[in-house]
Structure 1
């Protein structure tokens, strides 16, 4: 049995990030039979947490939620980092790897409104608050008349701002609401066929130094293989498209019985045009399938597809 003296876990400080960090800590403790307190949680404030006055797409993209945590990991002040996988850049800093994934939670988005039961029932010209270009594009694809306004902050902040009337509706990840015990806040759950999730949505990724064999060995028992295969496919798809917060890209893979099914989509920010594709194969081909799907959409869309934003 492997026993740590103390393992140091790095995470953002939002209620959701801390809930996810505690989930990983409990899983590690259960897998190895030690006290959860032997995993020390270190809260690291990231650029993404500090910058609240503009969309991340304007501030530098999703790496803003991982940069300082990854610097701590490279510097050795933490042993591993816990992230929401959808916040992870496609290219990791040299020397860092995603070593494990917790079993994926429900990846769907939810619609939340005090004024309507669905996107379809929102009044003409209503406002939807979101900081996600993917959600914006998919909303505009369904309802071109709706106005999208930027809504940043953690889950609780966004729910409060909805109550304050900043927007008529918002969209959040169901996984986050479940982990926070806030599922009752959802007005409606959006089906994957109609509203394709972000790459990595619902999956907790655990990042380590590539040369830290001990920590990687500690994490191995809590890695969920099917989730890891699905994420390998999705992230390969994203990597080809150079996806960041600046580009409305959706992609979701499911794994069952050693088979992987993937659907990917790119959408213009105003929802006016979209391309999508599907792939199917064995989990051993996960990266190839995602790469191939990304290459197809890149070819179909052409170099100017995202230029409008």
Structure 2
């Protein structure tokens, strides 16, 4: 493919721009693409002080970016795939994912304490129902308070003394060159990650074959399989960001292992399953894990549906 102009739609946060640059660099390694960025403000950005659970709908950080692509004002949309709902518009295709960064969650504490050393009733900032429930499961004595804003904003709120610690994605810290800020990193079992955490996804309009063919060159097949299986579990169990659930799939040596954890909102109950099988039966493995969570976690899911 000769010189081609590619317009990338992205949110305007520092982390989003870093991720867009990662995609741009990958595209330029495989083509003579001339890259332009188009910054888009999303509902998640506009209503930055309102907990996501209180906003109507879903896709708070993705919908408007994808709409720019559907209107053909940009060629591709770059997302943190964990922010993208499992049911994307039919006119949008997930054309590529980049190799996965860390899927783990990290604690950043103001006074540099590790998680186990935080004082009783320490105030931890997170607006994720999953992180809140997992934290309370590990330490019911903690005080969990909502926090919104991009990574920079949350770190500033921490520095300004509004929280004793915050929990963020380790991948975001690493992409921003801030990995040294992490004082603890939670294991998969301690805090099972959000589906697709650590994965950059690239959306393209389904009928834009020229751009799809270009973008497919940067796709990482292993990460794509993991992402699709995690999203399959999310789609089957349902509930969106209101459901405190983590899903993590790992493809290795022609096998796929998948871990799912469902928490009650207060962390007092926890349903956990680990399934595995050959890669050619990956979908069966994911569905088996999802059905287990649905069955054994029904009391938790029912209570969330009632209160939600």
| TM-score, reference length from structure 2 | 0.95
Q: In 2, are the aligned partners of 1:61 and 1:245 still within 8 Å (CA)?
A: no
Which of 50, 73, 82 in structure 2 is aligned with 1:86? 82
Structure 1 Cα separation of the partners of residues 208 and 14 of structure 2? 28
| Deviation string, structure 1 residues 5-64 (Cα, Å, up to 9, x no partner) | 3111111110000000000000000012x25xx121111100001111221111136501
- Gaps of at least 5 residues in structure 2 are none
Deviation of 1:212 after TM superposition, in Å, equals 1.8
Assess if the C-alpha contact under 8 Å between 1:128 and 1:170 holds in 2.
yes
Structure-2 change in CA distance of 1:61 and 1:258 (3 Å): farther
Q: Could you give the per-residue CA deviations for residues 116-154 of structure 1, whole angstroms, max 9, x where no partner exists?
A: 622222211111101111100100111112111111111
- Within the candidate set 120, 126, 132, 1:130 is matched to 126
Equivalent residue for 1:22?
21
Q: CA deviation at 1:305?
A: 3.9
Q: How does 1:98-137 map to 2 (within 5 A)?
A: 98-115=94-111, 117-137=113-133
Of residues 43-52 and 238-247 in structure 1, the stretch that sits farther from structure 2 once superposed is 238-247
Contact 1:115 1:122 in 2 (8 A): no
What is the aligned length?
305
Distance in 2 (CA, whole Å) between partners of 1:59 and 1:218 is: 36
The equivalent residue for 2:173 is 177
Aligned-residue CA RMSD in angstroms? Answer: 1.5
Question: Are residues 141 and 117 of structure 1, via their aligned partners in 2, closer, same or farther at CA, if it must alter by over 3 Å?
Answer: same
Find the residue that maps to 1:245 and give its secondary structure: helix
Given the alignment of the two structures, is residue 304 of structure 1 paired with residue 302 of structure 2, yes or no?
Answer: yes
Distance in 1 (CA, whole Å) between partners of 2:208 and 2:238 is: 28
Pick from 173, 187, 193: which aligns with 2:189?
A: 193
| SS in structure 2 at match of 1:153 | coil
Larger mean CA deviation between 260-269 and 108-117 belongs to 108-117
Q: 1:248 aligns with which of 244, 249, 258?
A: 244
> What is the TM-score when the length of structure 1 is the normalising length?
0.95
- Alignment deviations for residues 282-307 of structure 1 (CA, whole Å, 9 cap, x no partner): 23333332222112211212251424
Matched, 1:279 2:275: yes
**How do 1:150-161 and structure 2 match up within 5 A?**
150-161=146-157
1:45 and 2:28 correspond: no
Does 293-302 or 167-176 show the bigger shift?
293-302
Shift of 1:80: 1.1
| Aligned residue runs from structure 1 range 161-240, under 5 A | 161-240=157-236
> How far apart in 2 are the matches of 1:234 and 1:212?
26
User: Paired residue for 1:12?
Assistant: 11
Unpaired segments of 5 or more residues in structure 1?
none
* Equivalent residues of 1:62, 1:87 under 8 A apart: no
